[in-house]
Amino acid sequence: MRPYTAAEEIAARLSVANNADTSRSLVEERFDRLLALNGPALVRLAASYTNTAADRDDLFQEIVLALWRALAGFRGECSERTFLFRIAHNRGMAHLSKRSKPSASADDGLLLPDPRPGPEQELAQEQERERLLYAIRQLPLLYRQVITLALEGFSYSEIAEVAGVTENNVGVRLNRARQLLRDLMEIPK
C-alpha cells in the first residue's frame, strides 16, 4: 500500500468535511421541521411543568437545546414525535428536580389568545383554559404527565413510550387524572 500524497490527504479531509456539512444540514432541516410542527405543543408542555412565563420560556429553551444535541443520534426506533416529547419530558423532569416545589398559581401569559371572534366568548374560553391549566398543575406529577400528553393528541402507546410505563398503566393514570380533574374543577359526572 502506497502512502498518501499531500493532495490526496487534503482531498480526503475535504470529502470528510463535505460529508459532515451535508449531514449537519440534514440534521438542521429535520430540527427546523420538528420545531415548526411541534413548537406550540412543546411550549404548552413546558407550561405544564412551570408556573411562570419566564420559567416556561427557560424550559422551552432547554428542551430545544436538548433536542438539537440528541437529534444526530436519533436511530428511528420510535417516531420522531415520540423521540421529541421524550426529550421534552426528561427536560421537564430535570427542571422540576432543580426547582423548589412549584406554587399553584396560574400565569396569565401562558396561553395564546383565541383567534375566534367575540371578546366575551374569548374571555370565557381563556378563563376555562386557565382553570384547566391550574387544575392540571394540582395533579400529582405522574398524572400531570399523562394528561398533558393526552391533551396533545398522543396515543396510549406513544404516552407509554414517553413516560416509560406500560399502555395499561397509561390508561389507569389517565382515568385517575380525569377523575381528579373533575373533582378539582367540580365537574359533575
Distance CA 176, CA 57 (A): 29
HSE at residue 90, side-chain half, CA atoms within 13 A, is: 14
- pLDDT value for 5: 52
Sign of CA dihedral 61, 36, 84, 101: positive
Q: Which three cell numbers stand for residue 37?
A: 410542527
- pLDDT value for 177: 94
Distance CA 137, CA 130 (A): 10
HEC letters along the chain: CCCCCHHHHHHHHHHHHHHHHHHHHHHHHHHHHHHHHHHHHHHHHHHHHCCCHHHHHHHHHHHHHHHHHHHCCCCCCCCHHHHHHHHHHHHHHHHHHHCCCCCCCCCHHHCCCCCCCCHHHHHHHHHHHHHHHHHHHHCCHHHHHHHHHHHCCCCHHHHHHHHCCCHHHHHHHHHHHHHHHHHHHCCCC
- pLDDT value for 26: 82
- pLDDT value for 30: 87
- pLDDT value for 180: 93
CATH architecture of 1-102: Orthogonal Bundle (1.10)
Per-domain residue ranges of the chain? 1-102
- pLDDT value for 119: 74
With vertex at residue 54, the alpha carbon angle to CA 49 and CA 57, rounded to the nearest 5 degrees, is 65
- Residue 94 CB contacts under 8 Å (≥ 6 apart), including other chains: 62
pLDDT in tens, the chain (189 residues): 555 555 555 555 544 444 445 566 888 888 899 999 999 999 999 988 888 889 999 999 999 999 999 988 888 888 889 999 999 999 998 888 887 554 545 454 556 654 555 777 778 888 888 888 899 999 999 899 999 999 999 999 999 999 999 999 999 999 999 999 998 888 655
- pLDDT value for 147: 93
- pLDDT value for 17: 44
